[in-house]
Amino acid sequence: MEEEKRRCRHISQEIVEDILVKLHVRSLMRFKAVSRDWRGTIESKFFLERHFRFQKPLGDQARILTISSETRYDRLAFDTMLFSTNGIVHEISPYPPISPIHQFEGSKISVPCDGLFCLYSNTQMSILNPATTCCRSLPYPTSTIYCDLRRDYTLLGIGRENSERRRYKIVCYFECDDKKVNESTKCKVFALDSNTWKDVDPPHCRVRYGHSLVHLDGVIYCFTCEIEPEHAKVLAFDLHTEKFQSFSISPYIGFKYSRNSGMHVLNRRLCIFDNDTLLQIWGLDINKGSWDMMHSIDVSKFSQSWRIIPMATINNYVIITNDEYHNLWALYDSKNHVLHHTCSLGHSKISFGMPYFETLVSAYQ
Nearby residues of 124 by Cβ (< 8 Å), 6 or more positions away: 101, 102, 137, 140
Contact at 8 Å (CB) between 345 and 52?
no
Gyration radius from the chain CA atoms:
22
Contact at 8 Å (CB) between 214 and 157?
yes
pLDDT digits (tens, 9 = 90+) for 247-273: 999 888 888 888 889 999 998 999 999
The DSSP letter of residue 252 is G
**Partner residues linked to 116 by β-bridges:** 113
Amino acid at site 360:
L
pLDDT at 157: 96
Contact at 8 Å (CB) between 27 and 19?
no
CA distances from 142 to 64, 146, 157, 351 (A): 33, 10, 15, 26
142-158 burial, b for 16+ CB within 10 Å, e for fewer?
eeebeeeebbebbbbbb
Q: Could you please report the per-residue DSSP string of 205-236? A: S-B-SSS--EEETTEEEEEB--SSGGG-EEEE
Helix/strand/coil (H/E/C) assignment for every residue in 75-99 = EEEEEEEEEECCEEEEECCCCCCEC
Per-residue confidence at 119, pLDDT binned at 50, 70, 90?
Answer: very high
pLDDT digits (tens, 9 = 90+) for 271-326: 999 987 889 999 999 888 899 999 988 888 887 778 889 999 988 889 888 876 65
pLDDT digits (tens, 9 = 90+) for 58-114: 668 888 888 888 777 778 888 888 888 787 777 767 788 888 777 777 788 999 999
pLDDT digits (tens, 9 = 90+) for 192-237: 999 899 999 999 888 998 889 999 999 999 999 877 766 789 999 9
* Sign of the torsion formed by the C-alpha atoms of 107, 110, 113 and 115: positive
Task: Give the CA angle between residues 282, 154, 173 to the nearest 5°.
Answer: 65
Domain boundaries, the chain: 1-55, 56-355
* Sign of the torsion formed by the C-alpha atoms of 165, 57, 48 and 197: positive
Of the chain, the percentage scoring pLDDT greater than 70 comes to: 84
Provide the mean pLDDT of the chain: 84
Superfamily of the domain at 56-355: Kelch-type beta propeller (2.120.10.80)
pLDDT at 182: 52
pLDDT at 339 over 70: no
Give this prediction's pTM. Answer: 0.89
Give CA–CA dist 65/356, Å, rounded. 6
